[in-house]
Structure 1
Amino acid sequence: MSSQDIPEENLPAAQDTGHGALDVADEKNPFADPGVPPHEPRIQDIDERAAKRSERAVALLFTVSMLATIGFIAAFVTIPVHKTVYIFPLGHIGALNFALGVTLGVALFCIGAGAVHWGRTLMSDHELVQERHPIEAPADVRAQVFEDFRQGAKESQLGRRKLIRNTMFGAMAMVPLSGVVLLRDLGPLPEDKLRHTLWRKGKLIVNMNTNEPLRPSDVAVGSLTFAKPEGLEEHDHGFQNEIAKAALMLVRIEPEDIKDKRELEWSHEGIVAYSKICTHVGCPISLYEQQTHHVLCPCHQSTFDLADGARVIFGPAGHPLPQLRIGVNDEGYLEALGDFEEPVGPAFWERG
């Protein structure tokens, strides 16, 4: 007999489950909603000793995470880069990479496992059903959300379970240290290398083209001459690294045309020596305009006035070109009277 043959008054009444669905199927609603199963308390809900055991287990996982982070840092510092170990079935692998991978994996896993165990055993596990609502929530719904958040924070027992809270904060605070330590592997620390070049007091100024020491008579008025420190040869190991900081350009200007007092004191008979490296992004400066005493960087058109302390008059460069104080030795050759007073090239964060 089908439901059509049963009198309507004898059909079971459809009952609302309380959240918009019916718990009994009928013609209009062929699928019944079984509803949320009755809540069954966990052992931790009724036995404080079990709750304490779960708390200690979570705290242990967070503590292991902290120890693994310490192990990560210790492995990074103590294990040589080229050391290998045999791991079955992987074979011979780098000991440092293996140690870093294991310790970082344990640190992250223990934080996740601790959070999951905490949520499954100690946080509230009541299932709640709520009807969908418009995206824009009314004021009473927003108030309810804040109230639910406060209630959730209370039910999480974060304030009550201080052991869990403290170890969790410790684990989460220490894990980022792994990333900070990895920054050390980007290369050797520069220390003060960026502040010094090969120029020293007494270093002869050598012509880049002829590889011969320069005399004042070799630098004509209005000419641009490129130079390097004595003893730096192109076949030397690390030549490119050193010339990138020590490259020099010399220009002879009539002394009465030099506007900057210190520039005049650091020059010799109107010959001024400035770093060839642009202070924008480090391009080599190579264009000189004789009438205005301006030098131009070909990369981004930063322009410097060599008659006025090499100050920037146009372009993106942030500060003037560093000047090298020069003089003449007893044999009549141009020489440096020290190093550049400030770092050459683009600015960097330690620069004052």
Structure 2
Amino acid sequence: MRQHMGNHSDGVKAHTSAVVTSQEASQERFPDPGLPPHAPRLTDVDSKKAKGAERQVVLLFVISILGSLLFWVGYFGIEVSGNFYDVMNPEANKMLRLQNLLMGLGVAFAMFGIGIGIVHWARSLMPDHEMVEERHAVTSEEDRAEAQEIMETIIEETGIKRRPLLRNTLIGSVILAPLTFVTLFRDLGPADPSVLKYTMWDEGVRLVRDPSGTPIKAADVTLGSAYHVLPETLSTLTHENGYLEEKAKSVVLLMRLDPSELNVSEGREDWNVDGIIAYSKVCTHVGCPIALYEQRTHHLLCPCHQSTFDAANECEVVFGPAGHALPQLPIRVDSEGYLVSQSDFHEPVGPGYWERAKHVKEMAGEA
């Protein structure tokens, strides 16, 4: 620490102690004040208050259970009939809004009840004494026995053994509330994954621009360009008979690269037209539409989770969580110079799933 120098009247320098030296500081000690005195809660001294708090916690857990049930009523009990893509269909939209309302309220009450219930239980009924314990390794049998005793003490202090109604409602809400989210997993993909095996592409189907529907000639696709294309036959469908579902599976990204930059595997030599290649736009991670093409690196990027595919190397995955390469659509040129498909995809489009390997083998056998 710094020391200030001063001069006595006789010219001799003197030290002043404007700042405490380290030696002096080391000699000074502050007593440990310890923990503040414990202030008991009303539930600690009044059994009626404790019983009331227990009933409140039980009520919150019951609300959570009822919220979970309300979610399933909306999910399974409300039937959305008709074409709910048509905003002019009031009946379908009414039922859809009702279903969304019940599902939203159900999840909200399920999470609110169990969350607030546990917090209220901890604040009003569980012991609130402050304590400090030194950590130590549990190695010997005595230490294990001590650890088991501590766990039993904790369980005893929660009061869960002597409050069976509270325990049972907690168990019910803990089991039911997460199932509301598990139920939604059913909608993350088709109930029957085999529907991803086939699309609207077939022998001789023209590639048309999305959304104009204009056919594309090979001469129109310049080096470095990219188009979002659909099968021409898709225009025969309407919303009522699966237009959106088929479009989601069939959408394709068309690009033209320098043929010398393409790495083509055996059996795919005639799948491109002078460097013009077509690949499914459906990301193989969770099915997001791939729409970003980087011309210099020939990389395709999924905006959802940044899966990156190399178009020059048959759209193999170079980064991100996608599980496999994008399926390639074999194309050729018809007699009028328009780009057409040679066949459907040779493998299922979209994300990987537990039956994918089986479907890939089946489609390979059919080919």
Q: Per the shorter chain, which TM-score range?
A: 0.3 to 0.5
TM-score by length of 1: 0.47
Quick check: which one's helix share is greater? 2
* Structure ID, larger Rg: 1
TM-score by length of 2: 0.46
